[in-house]
Structure formats: structure tokens, C-alpha cells
């Protein structure tokens, strides 16, 4: 074989919230000199010469840790890293005027506080009303010549679920997009979520390590695979913030960014997210179902009509200044009010044994 491809580093949109992943190729000793763009077109499924050259030109391909030009000729033992755009599908982004909660903006990037209920990018069944539709309009008001050809997907390098609220970073330049994508892959991005989960968690803190991948039967769902036989590696660190007996408020720190990772991991350890209708949290999981208690829980479900999950903090190194940036978004009203209701409920009925 002329090269060794590390397929364990190839990801798909099915199980990653990070839209740029990578795979590595180590060139065999017997490889003849060949232009890298031609080499990659022959080795990457669906690649075209134009796409490969664009990726090389914006620094998404490195050889031996350094950026190169499309006419670079590969040599034996070269180590090639390719950052691949894992956007789920190519869809035209139609600019739409909408309110955006912009937390921070400079020439390189934007920080957005996404509300629950908003899809991040256009895709199957959601071609309008997404966050990217609004961002496209906003950015094109600043620069009418801006198009998706100039800035692919308007710099989105990660995403969060439709019914999860919280912080997203968006790159406004190729350099920023490249640098942020690398930080996500290297797990140097700081991401902390706040979640309300069912049950009284046994430990005050811990780590969940179980692969996350598509459910083998129900393709819209994801599943934890602790033996690593399916999916991709996924690691979530958690810490208890407050206990309410029937439910627990936790902080989750992501080491990896798999789709539905926190939701799947919490279900896996027996603590599904409160009102998570995908993973069993939309029913009473802890507590005897008597009339007053059921009515109380139903009222909570009415207040927070989605999984109680919020991307609260986001930290990274600024792609131009090299300074550490850190942002925090307060809990949205629905989660905040439900937490207050549980706190008042426990104070009124006493501690749960």
C-alpha cells in the first residue's frame, strides 16, 4: 500500500458536533514524488481538485505539521493531516432578517447565544429560520459581496442541538475558521454545560467514557457503546452543582464533541435529562406518581418544554491575538424557573430519603 490511512480519525456528521474533523496519512517509504492535490483527490472519497486546492490554500492540509501549497510534492514518510469539512449537506443559505443575541464580535469571530428551538444550520426539513440564515443576513449587511463561496457556511465550526440553548463561536475569516477548528479537534476549547437530570446522582463528580454513535435500529437516536464496538470515543466530565432529591443540577465539561453526547451519556448512567423526549426524560423517572407530585412535574414540563441543557461557558485562544477568551451565558428563563420550582418544592416537602 502506498500510504497508511488512520481511519479512526475520520468522523462523520452522524456523531460529531464539531464540523471540522481530520484524518491522517503517513506516506509509505516506496511512494514516488507526486503533487499533494493529485494524491489527495485519489485518496479521499468525493474529493475534487478544486476542493482540495481550496482546503490547502486556507491551511486545512498540513504536512509534517506545516502548511503547504497545492504544488507540494509528497515524499516518503511525510505525515499528512487533512481537516475535513463535515457539513452534513450542502445547502444554499438564504439570508433572513432575525434577532441575534450577539455576545461578542470583532473582525475575526462572533459569539452567539442561541435560543432553544432554533436549528443551527439549514438541512433536511429545515431550510429557513436557522441561525445561519440570520447570520448570513447580518454579515451581508456589513459586506454585500459576502457569499458562501467566500466564507463556507459563514464560518460555523461547531453546533448545538435545536432544543439546547447557549454559546456558539463563528469564524469570520479563513484564518479564524482554521485556527478554531484545530482547537476543537485538539480538545483545547473549554465548553461547560449546565443540565438538570433525573435522579439523585451517587457521586459529586465523575467521568463518563463511552463511545457515542447512531442507534442501530432507530437512526434518529444515538446510543452509548461502552465497549467501543460502535460510534466514536466520547468523554464527559460532570460535577454536581445542587441536589433536589428527585432531580440533580450538574455541570458537564466536554472533552469530545459528539452529537447528543451529554444527553446520551446521562441516559447511559441512569440519569436522563429532565424533559428530554428523545432519551426518556419526558416522563417521571424518580418519585412516586401521586397526583400532587405528578401535577408539579407536569407544571415543570410546561415551563421548560425541552431538554434542560444549556451551553453556559465557552473558552478558546483568539486566532489573531493569541489571548485567551472566555464567555459565559446566564441560564435562560425556562431552566432558571424550573430550578427555582424544584428548590422550593424540596424546601416545602423536606429532603428526599
Which residues are catalytically annotated? Answer: 161
Per-residue DSSP letter, 32: P
Per DSSP, what are the bridge partners of residue 238? 206, 252
Instruction: Tell me the three cell numbers of residue 74.
Output: 509528497
Bridge partners, 239 (sequence order): 205, 251
The C-alpha cell of 66 is what?
Answer: 506545516
d(Cα 145, Cα 12) in Å, to the nearest integer?
31
Considering only CA atoms, which of 350, 349, 340 is closest in space to residue 242?
340
d(CA 58, CA 69): 10
Residue 241 backbone dihedrals phi, psi, to 5 degrees: -100, -40
Classify residue 252 by burial, with Cβ atoms within 10 Å: 0-12, 13-18, 19+: buried
Q: Which three cell numbers stand for residue 283?
A: 416522563
Residue 26 forms beta bridges with which residues? 4, 79
Taking the C-alpha atoms of residue 111 and residue 242, their distance in angstroms, rounded to an integer, is: 28
- Reported for 29-33, long-range contacts at CB under 8 A and 24+ positions apart, including other chains, are 29/76, 29/77, 30/2, 30/76, 31/2, 31/3, 31/74, 31/75, 31/76, 33/73, 33/74, 33/75
Contacts of 239 (CB under 8 A, 6+ apart): 204, 205, 250, 251, 253
Contact 295, 266 (CB under 8 A): no
Torsion sign across C-alpha atoms 122, 126, 130, 135: positive
Going by C-alpha positions, the residue among 75, 89, 98 that lies closest to residue 122 is 89
Amino acid at each position: 500500500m502506498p500510504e497508511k490511512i488512520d481511519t479512526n480519525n475520520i468522523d462523520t456528521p452522524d456523531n460529531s458536533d464539531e464540523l471540522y474533523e481530520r484524518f491522517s496519512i503517513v506516506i509509505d517509504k516506496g511512494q514516488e514524488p507526486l503533487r499533494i492535490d493529485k494524491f489527495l483527490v485519489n485518496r479521499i472519497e468525493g474529493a475534487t481538485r478544486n476542493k482540495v486546492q481550496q482546503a490547502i490554500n486556507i491551511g486545512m492540509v498540513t504536512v509534517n505539521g506545516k502548511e503547504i501549497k497545492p504544488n507540494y510534492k509528497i515524499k516518503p514518510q511525510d505525515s499528512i493531516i487533512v481537516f475535513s469539512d463535515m457539513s452534513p449537506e450542502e445547502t444554499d443559505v438564504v439570508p433572513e432578517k432575525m434577532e441575534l443575541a450577539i455576545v461578542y464580535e470583532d473582525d475575526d469571530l462572533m459569539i452567539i447565544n442561541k435560543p432553544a428551538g432554533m436549528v443551527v444550520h439549514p438541512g433536511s426539513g429545515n431550510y429557513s429560520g436557522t441561525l445561519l440564515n440570520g447570520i448570513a443576513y447580518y454579515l451581508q449587511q456589513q459586506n454585500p459581496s459576502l457569499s458562501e463561496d467566500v466564507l463556507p457556511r459563514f464560518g460555523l465550526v461547531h453546533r448545538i442541538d435545536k432544543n439546547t440553548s447557549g454559546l456558539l463561536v463563528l469564524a469570520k475569516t479563513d484564518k479564524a475558521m482554521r485556527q478554531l477548528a484545530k482547537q476543537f479537534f485538539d480538545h483545547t476549547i473549554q465548553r461547560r454545560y449546565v443540565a438538570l437530570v433525573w435522579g439523585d446522582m451517587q457521586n459529586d463528580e465523575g467521568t463518563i467514557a463511552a463511545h457515542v454513535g447512531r442507534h442501530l435500529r432507530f437512526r434518529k437516536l444515538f446510543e452509548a457503546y461502552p465497549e467501543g464496538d460502535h460510534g466514536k470515543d466520547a468523554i464527559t466530565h460532570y460535577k454536581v452543582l445542587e441536589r433536589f432529591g428527585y432531580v440533580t443540577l450538574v455541570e458537564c465539561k466536554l472533552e469530545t464533541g459528539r452529537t447528543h453526547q451529554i444527553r446520551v451519556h446521562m441516559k447511559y448512567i441512569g440519569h436522563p435529562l429532565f424533559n428530554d423526549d428523545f432519551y426518556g426524560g419526558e416522563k417521571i423517572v424518580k418519585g412516586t406518581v401521586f397526583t400532587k407530585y405528578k401535577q408539579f412535574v407536569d407544571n415543570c414540563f410546561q415551563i421548560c418544554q425541552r431538554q434542560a441543557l444549556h451551553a453556559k461557558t465557552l473558552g478558546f485562544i483568539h486566532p489573531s491575538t493569541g489571548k485567551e477568551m472566555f464567555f459565559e451565558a446566564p441560564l435562560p428563563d425556562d431552566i432558571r424557573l424550573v430550578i427555582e420550582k424544584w428548590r422550593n418544592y424540596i424546601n416545602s416537602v423536606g429532603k428526599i430519603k
